[in-house]
Amino acid sequence: MPPARGDHEARRRDVSEAVWRVLAARGFAGLTLRAVAAEMGATTGLLTHYFPSKQALVAHALEVLDEHSDARPRPAADSAAPAGGLAMVRALLLDVLPLTERDATDNRIWVGSWDAALAAPGLAAEHAERYRRSRRRLLDHVTAAQLAGELPAGRAAEDVAATAQCFVLGLVVQALFAPEEFPPERQVALVDGFLAGLRAA
């Protein structure tokens, strides 16, 4: 007999939280039905009821990741968000970085998801689209900064936005591997140095 709907939703939430904890500790490489079941104190059989395969579990993990990201307060949605193009570019770049422990966990899971996503064309396309959207958001504010004279207008705004996005993504990876060399204050200083370079160029 299938569980009642309310039970099903609650159980799914439990599963999502267990998936999250397994990913944070062991990455996608360690994400197995058995590990999630153990994390929940449940049987593998129960897990199989929700996720018939490892692939279904990975797809769910990426949904959970999306929900976590959507649930975060974003600079653009914040009423105290900085006005102006360049300040907004800065806020968007800082928003990506692992400046808090929670952001470090989210980022660790995002970076970990790249392996599985690159192996599955559908997941790769979704990741590409996410990064395209975030590039577009940066582009809007780079363009605004150029129009306001905060950034020189000489360079294509698309290239500036892509370069800025690449820079912070790489910084995420380095900060995860060498947190002692890239503590939050150095990450912020590197972003500010990068932006100063854009202004002066």
Which residues lie near a second copy (CB under 8 A)? 25-30, 58, 108, 111-119, 124, 127-128, 131-132, 155, 159, 162-163, 165-171, 173-174, 176-178, 181-182, 189-190, 193-194, 196-198, 200-201
- 130 token code pair: 């996410």
Considering the complex, state which of residue 44 and residue 131 has its C-beta at the smaller distance from a second copy: 131
Considering the complex, state which of residue 81 and residue 99 has its C-beta at the smaller distance from a second copy: 99
Tell me how far, at minimum, the Cβ of 108 lies from a second copy, in Å: 6
Indicate the SS3 state at residue 118: helix
Considering the complex, state which of residue 48 and residue 105 has its C-beta at the smaller distance from a second copy: 105
Tell me how far, at minimum, the Cβ of 11 lies from a second copy, in Å: 25
Tell me how far, at minimum, the Cβ of 75 lies from a second copy, in Å: 19
- Backbone angles phi and psi of 196, in degrees to 5: -60, -40
CA angle 180, 75, 106 (to 5 degrees): 45
Considering the complex, state which of residue 46 and residue 169 has its C-beta at the smaller distance from a second copy: 169
CA–CA dist 69, 22 (Å, integer)? 18
CA distances from 40 to 16, 35, 61, 108, 123 (A): 10, 9, 15, 21, 26
Query: Do 24 and 108 contact (CB within 8 A), yes or no?
Result: yes
Considering the complex, state which of residue 119 and residue 147 has its C-beta at the smaller distance from a second copy: 119
Tell me how far, at minimum, the Cβ of 83 lies from a second copy, in Å: 25
Tell me how far, at minimum, the Cβ of 113 lies from a second copy, in Å: 8
Element spanning 100, H or E: none
Considering the complex, state which of residue 12 and residue 132 has its C-beta at the smaller distance from a second copy: 132
Query: Do 74 and 133 contact (CB within 8 A), yes or no?
Result: no
- DSSP 8-state assignment for residue 31: -
Tell me how far, at minimum, the Cβ of 162 lies from a second copy, in Å: 6
10 Å CB burial of residue 64 (0-12, 13-18, 19+) is middle
